[in-house]
A and B are shown apart, each in its own frame.
Chain A
Amino acid sequence: MSCLFVNGILLNLEIIMEDQNKLIHEVTQRDYRFGFVSDIETDTIVKGLNEEVIRIISAKKDEPEFMLEFRLKAYRRWLTMKMPEWAQLKVPVIDYQEIIFYAAPTQQAKYESLNEVDPELLRTFEKLGIPLEEQKMLSGVAVDAVIDSVSVKTTFKETLAERGIIFCSFSEAVKHHPDLIQKYLGMAVPYNDNYFAALNSAVFSDGSFVYIPKGTRCPMELSTYFRINAKNTGQFERTLVIADDDSYVSYLEGCTAPMRDENQLHAAVVEIIALDRAEVKYSTVQNWYPGDKNGLGGIFNFVTKRGICKGVSSKIFWNQVETGSAITWKYPSCVLMGDNSVAEFNSVALTNNYQQADTGTKMIHLGKNTKSTIVSKGISAGHSSNSYRGLVRVAPKAENARNYSQCDSLLLGDTCGAHTFPYIEVGNSSSIIEHEATTSKIGEDQIFYCNQRGISTEDAIGMIVNGYAREVINKLPMEFAVEAQKLLQISLEGSVG
Chain B
Amino acid sequence: MLVIKDLYAKVEGKDILRGINLTVNAGEVHAIMGPNGSGKSTLANVLAGNTNFEVTHGSITFNGKDIFDMSPDVRAKEGLFLSFQYPVEIPGVSMVNFLKTAVNEHRKYRNEKELSAGDFLKLLREKKAMVQIDSQLTNRSVNEGFSGGEKKKNEIFQMAMLEPTLAILDETDSGLDIDALRIVSNGVNMLKNKNNATILVTHYQRLLDYIVPDFVHVLYEGRIVKSAGKELAFELEEKGYDWIKKELGE
Please list the residues of chain A having a beta carbon within 8 angstroms of any beta carbon in chain B: 440, 443-446, 448-457, 459, 463-464, 466-470
Contacts and interface: CB of A to CB of B under 8 A. Distances in A.
A455 B105 contact: yes
B52 interface: yes
B73 A449 contact: no
B90 A450 contact: yes
Contacts of B162: 453-454
B21 interface: no
Given A446-B90, A452-B72, A467-B90, 8 more contacts: A449-B90, A449-B142, A452-B48, A453-B99, A454-B105, A455-B73, A459-B101, A470-B92
A326 B122 CA distance: 46
B131 interface: no
A451 B88 contact: no
9 shortest interchain CB distances as A-B pairs: A467-B92, A451-B72, A467-B93, A453-B102, A454-B76, A454-B105, A451-B73, A454-B77, A468-B92
Given A444-B52, A451-B49, A451-B72, A463 B98 contact: yes
Given A444-B52, A463-B97, A463-B101, A451 B92 contact: no
A440 B89 CA distance: 12
Interface in B121-172: 141-142, 158, 162
A443 B49 CA distance: 16
A386 B101 CA distance: 30
Contacts of B76: 451-454
Interface string B66-110: 000001110011000110100110111110011101100110010
A454 B141 CA distance: 18
A464 B87 contact: no
Nearest to B106: A454
Contacts of A463: 93, 97-98, 101
**A interface, by DSSP: helix, strand, loop or mixed?**
helix
A455 B71 CA distance: 11
Contact of A449 (B51, B84, B105): B84
Interface residues of B, number: 32
22 contacts: A443-B88, A445-B88, A450-B73, A451-B76, A452-B72, A452-B81, A452-B84, A453-B76, A453-B98, A453-B102, A453-B158, A454-B106, A454-B109, A455-B105, A456-B73, A456-B105, A457-B73, A464-B92, A467-B90, A467-B93, A467-B141, A468-B92
A468 B158 CA distance: 22
A446 B86 CA distance: 11
B90 to A, nearest CB: 5
A450 B48 CA distance: 12
B50 interface: yes
Contacts of B72: 448, 451-452
Contacts of B73: 450-452, 454-457
Contacts of A452: 48-49, 72-73, 76, 81-82, 84
Contacts of B49: 451-452
Nearest to B45: A448
Contacts of B102: 450, 453-455
Contacts of B77: 454
